Amino acid sequence: MADDGLLLNFSLGDGPLTTKSAITGGPWRARRRAQKVAAFSNGTLLSTQQPNSSENPDFGSRPAKRIRVDDSRPHSSKRSSSSANPTYEAPKQVVSSLFSFNPKATSEAAKEPAQAEDEPVEPSNAPLTKEQLNFVNLDISPSLAAHLTQKMNISAPTAIQKATIPQLIKEDADAFIQAETGSGKTLAYLLPIVQRIMQLSELKDANGKDLLHRDSGLFAIVLAPTRELSKQIAVVLDNLLRAAHWLVGGTVIGGEKKKSEKARLRKGLNILVATPGRLADHLEHTEALNVSNVRWLVLDEGDRLVELGFEADIKKIVSKLDFQMKKSSANPIKGLPEKRVNILCSATMKMDVQRLGEISLKDAVHIHASTTDPTENVNATTDDTKFLAPAQLKQSYAIVPAKLRLVSLAAFLKRSFARHGSVMKAIVFISCADSVDFHYEVFTRKEESEDTEQKESTEKPKTPKMSKFQGKAERKPPAPPTEVTTSAISPTVSSPTNTVTCYRLHGSFPQATRTKTLQAFTKDTSPSFLLCTDVASRGLDLPDIDVVIEYDPPFSKDEHLHRIGRTARAGRNGRAMIFLLPGPEEGYIQVLDKLRSEGAAGLARHTADELLKKGLPMPTAPDGKNVEDRATEWQLGIERWVLEHPGMLEAARRGYQSHIRAYATHVAAERYMFNIKELHLGHLAKAFGLRDKPGSINVPGLRQSAGKVKTERVRAGVEGGKRKRVDGAGRQARDKADLDLPGAVSADDAARRMRMKVKKMMGGASEFNIA
């Protein structure tokens, strides 16, 4: 319990607080310690030297507590100088020009002229036309096909559905399904399973009665790594099962009392969507869960299942299913496959996935969008089918010097949302939770000149459209400190004719907040953008995202493909833009180039100059100023605002530190492009509105200073020549930053804690019901 402000009314007298006693016995260390205790209590030590933790375990060994900032809007907080906050030393301020000493792009690729963005390109993940093929051609029953068209607005299959559905309907071989993001993998495996279970329903018993009911048995299990994904799959399944009302699907994914899950299992389910941890738990403790009839086991997002440490749970589940099936094999249900069909889905075919394949698949066929021979054996295949971006996705990169990053992002967003309807939804990926929080505050801050701006406008300002979500700052009084605000109108990005809402999402929020935020962003029909960490990069089917902005480059190229895969789904158009620093990061242009599909449009190039010219002028600047003046004016506004609000100053410093720490966790193979030694920390500080010298930025508590990042890197063996297992450790550190875990002692310890935390937060407790 916080005891701030609690006054105890004891009279202490005028003497010292401790009585001086002769310290005689014990070893010299103990005596020295006791002397220091006495001196410290009397205040003498404080004025001379701070006790050193290595010398004195009683003082300084406990790290300073991370100071929690009030989550209410910082611009509503009382204005005061940062020196009013005793936590901070007066910063050594550096007010450098935005446009001086910026490094220039060096690589030839970055100097090439920008290519046209709007060449028409054939989508690679689009449904075929009805004339080419329909679901009936793929052996889907006319009634199910009609349901798809009439109720789900899906009339023709995608390429991966075309390759998968006939295989899973006709054959009982295991399968490995590999296809790019947004290509319809969920329906590719659900449709044949539902179709085959529906066929069982045609069976009648001796009295001519339907043989199949909800309690006839559990026939299929789909495992997904997170609750969000499980719920998403369950929604698609429910929609499909409306065509067969006698079949029942359900979920066991945690987040509710086990008792209610048990009750649901007791009532009977025919298809179950589950997270591995929760299912393993029920298999052990819930008698009502009978898995002897399970004939389809799907592992969706295979690489993520392994990354999140579910391998052991999956092993347990597979052996339990094998055991139960053998036990009941004497009396199988007619029409069911004799053996269980295992299906593994993944966009990549990394070692992780192969290991999962070894646990779950036997002689599986490898199905991918270009499969012409569905009998191709996954164990024998040499085809290294690549994980590529959808062809129709228009990709670009912007080479932006560190100092200009923040103002360039603001300009790009402003430009993107300039006209109502040009862009309706965007996602901005940021490397860590603290940085998301800082940028959220920047983009939702009320700009000083907003009033003038509105008065000057000749157009009638549009009344801000409020979403139903609770977080709109203008609508409600400031939220109490415990209530996290995750959405607000963005005055920075809005224009008098187009009101834009900013959302934020990361793993440090309580699950209920994450759920509400994602739901609100999904349902918001007005222009909006989401600032988030990679928590939103996998599998989530957020409808109609127009633009994905990778403000911080991804930690691995696979993550990049998952991030940009949130747009350009199922044949729709989409754009993706990544910010890169001049210098080694330009090497990423080649990576982007290699990840483009055949036939994709060229990579478009932007520069900071161009982004600023197009995104500015800020309507606030008086005429006669050039773009540099306007950018500088905006940047100085941010810097002043940061300085004047202690809460903001802390948010900026925290964001900056966490950003650097996260930067050190790029996968080892890509670290030659994202080398922390090449970062200009002073320039980077400006992108966080900071005027402090990098060395003096040190938020007490959890987050570390830049210097410590280096130490951590050395410890992790990242420094030249001494590369150890940094991939995993790095990723764990980053996830740790995202999940806001306390500082880890060792990589192993971090890994263990991260797995526990991730399971708790994602596998067990999260629920993004975006239906």
Ligand X SMILES: Nc1ncnc2c1ncn2[C@@H]1O[C@H](COP(=O)(O)OP(=O)(O)OP(=O)(O)O)[C@@H](O)[C@H]1O
Residues near ligand X (CB under 6 A) are 127, 154, 157-158, 161, 179, 181-187, 347, 539, 541, 565, 569-570
Q: Which is nearer to ligand X, 391 or 406 (CB)?
A: 391
Q: Is the CB of 158 or the CB of 494 nearer to ligand X?
A: 158
CB-side neighbour CA atoms (13 Å) of 241: 22
Residue 179 beta carbon to ligand X: minimum distance, rounded to whole angstroms: 6
Residue with structure tokens 């040190």?
A: 698
Task: Specify the DSSP class assigned to residue 670.
Answer: G
**Tokens encoding 262:** 């048990």
The distance of Cα 192 from the centroid of its chain, to the nearest Å, equals: 31
Q: HEC states along 364-401?
A: CEEEECCCCCCCCECCCCCCCCCCCCCCCEEEEEEECC
- Select 162 or 713, whichever has its Cβ closest to ligand X: 162
Q: Beta strand pairing status for 296-299 and 341-346?
A: parallel
- Residue whose CB is less far from ligand X, 166 or 700: 166
Q: How far apart are the first and last CA of the chain?
A: 40
Nearer to ligand X, 236 or 631 (CB): 236
Nearer to ligand X, 282 or 368 (CB): 368
- Which lies closer to ligand X via its Cβ, residue 597 or residue 607? 597
- CA 17 – CA 333 distance, rounded (Å): 82
CB of 126 to ligand X, least distance (A): 8
Contacts of 761 (CB under 8 A, 6+ apart): 507, 511, 739
Q: In the complex, what is the shortest distance from the CB of residue 182 to ligand X, in angstroms, rounded to a whole number? A: 5
Closest CA to 167 of 131, 147, 196: 196
Query: Minimum Å distance from CB 343 to ligand X?
Result: 13
Q: How far is the CB of 570 from ligand X (least distance, A)?
A: 3
Distances in whole angstroms, Cα of residue 264 to Cα of each of 93, 237, 252, 344, 766: 62, 16, 9, 26, 19
Q: Helix (H, G, I), strand (E, B), or coil: what is residue 580?
A: strand
- C-alpha distances in angstroms, 190 versus 161, 221, 255, 340? 10, 10, 24, 15
Min dist CB 553 to ligand X, Å, is 20
Residue with tokens 């009978």, as numbered in its chain: 290
The smaller minimum CB distance to ligand X, of residues 63 and 543, is found at 543
List, in order, residues 6 or more apart from 383 with CB less than 8 Å away: 366, 368, 376
Q: CA nearest 526: which of 467, 612, 582?
A: 467
State the Cα–Cα distance between residues 75 and 647, nearest whole angstrom: 9
* Shortest Å, Cβ 391 to ligand X: 15
Instruction: Between 74 and 302, name the residue whose CB sits nearer to ligand X.
Output: 302
State which residue, 56 or 183, has the beta carbon closest to ligand X: 183
Nearest partner of 308 among 763, 764, 767, 768, judged by Cα: 763
Q: Is the peptide bond before 481 cis (omega within 30 degrees of 0)?
A: no
Tokens representing 330 are 């004497």
DSSP 692: B
Strand order in the sheet with 271-274: 249-252, 271-274, 220-223, 296-299, 341-346, 175-178, 365-368
Q: Which is nearer to ligand X, 371 or 635 (CB)?
A: 371
Nearer to ligand X, 109 or 126 (CB): 126
